Structure 1
Amino acid sequence: MGDWRRYAIYHTPEGPLAAFGAEWLGWDIARGREGRDRPAGVEALTRAARRYGFHATLKAPFRLAADSSEAALLADLRALAAGQPPVSLPGGLRLAALHGFPALVPAQPCAPLQQLAARVVRALDAHRAPLTPEDRARRNPDRLSEAQRNLLDRWGYPFVLGQFRFHMTLGARLEGRQSDALLAALHPHLAPLLPDPHPIASLTLAGEDAMGRFHQIARLRLRDAQR
Structure 2
Amino acid sequence: MRYALYFSPARDHALTMAAARWLGRDAFTGETFPVPQLADLPADTVASMTADPRRYGFHATIKAPFELRQDRTEAELIAALEDFAGKMPSFDIPNVVVGQLGRFFALIPNQVYPDLQRFAASVVEAFEPFRAPLSEADIARRKPERLTVSERANLDRWGYPHVMDDFRFHMTLTGQVEPDLAPAMRRALDQCFAEFSDRPLSIDGLALFIEPSRGEPFTVHRWLPLAQNSDKRKTDS
128, 142, 153: which one aligns with 1:125: 128
Root-mean-square deviation over aligned CA pairs? 1.8
22, 26, 45: which one aligns with 1:24: 22
Letter in structure 2 aligned against 1:7? Y
Please give the alpha-carbon distance, in whole angstroms, between the structure 2 residues aligned to 1:96 and 1:194. 10
Cα offset, 1:35, TM superposition: 2.1
Cα offset, 1:24, TM superposition: 1.2
SS of match in other structure, 1:96: strand
Any unmatched runs of 5+ in structure 1? none
- 1:180-191 matches, cutoff 5 A: 180-191=183-194
Give CA-to-partner distance per residue, 1:103-146, whole Å, 9 cap, x none: 11012321111101000000000000000111101100001011
- 1:35-46 matches, cutoff 5 A: 35-38=33-36, 39-46=43-50
Q: Percentage identity across aligned positions?
A: 41
Letter in structure 2 aligned against 1:85? P
Please give the alpha-carbon distance, in whole angstroms, between the structure 1 residues aligned to 2:162 and 2:112. 16
Cα offset, 1:17, TM superposition: 1.1
Aligned length: 222
Letter in structure 2 aligned against 1:42? V
TM-score in terms of structure 2 length: 0.88
Any unmatched runs of 5+ in structure 2? 37-42
User: 2:151 — aligned with what?
Assistant: 148
User: 1:110 — aligned with what?
Assistant: 113
User: 2:9 — aligned with what?
Assistant: 13
Letter in structure 1 aligned against 2:141? R
TM-score in terms of structure 1 length: 0.92
Please give the alpha-carbon distance, in whole angstroms, between the structure 2 residues aligned to 1:58 and 1:65. 19
User: 1:178 — aligned with what?
Assistant: 181
Please give the alpha-carbon distance, in whole angstroms, between the structure 1 residues aligned to 2:85 and 2:149. 32
User: 1:223 — aligned with what?
Assistant: 227
Contact 2:6 2:60 in 1 (8 A): yes
User: 2:59 — aligned with what?
Assistant: 55
Please give the alpha-carbon distance, in whole angstroms, between the structure 1 residues aligned to 2:98 and 2:197. 10
Moved more, 64-73 or 14-23: 14-23
User: 1:88 — aligned with what?
Assistant: 92
Please give the alpha-carbon distance, in whole angstroms, between the structure 2 residues aligned to 1:97 and 1:117. 21
Letter in structure 2 aligned against 1:22? A
SS of match in other structure, 2:219: strand
Task: List structure 1 segments (4+ residues) > 4 angstroms apart after TM superposition.
Answer: none
Moved more, 51-60 or 188-197: 188-197
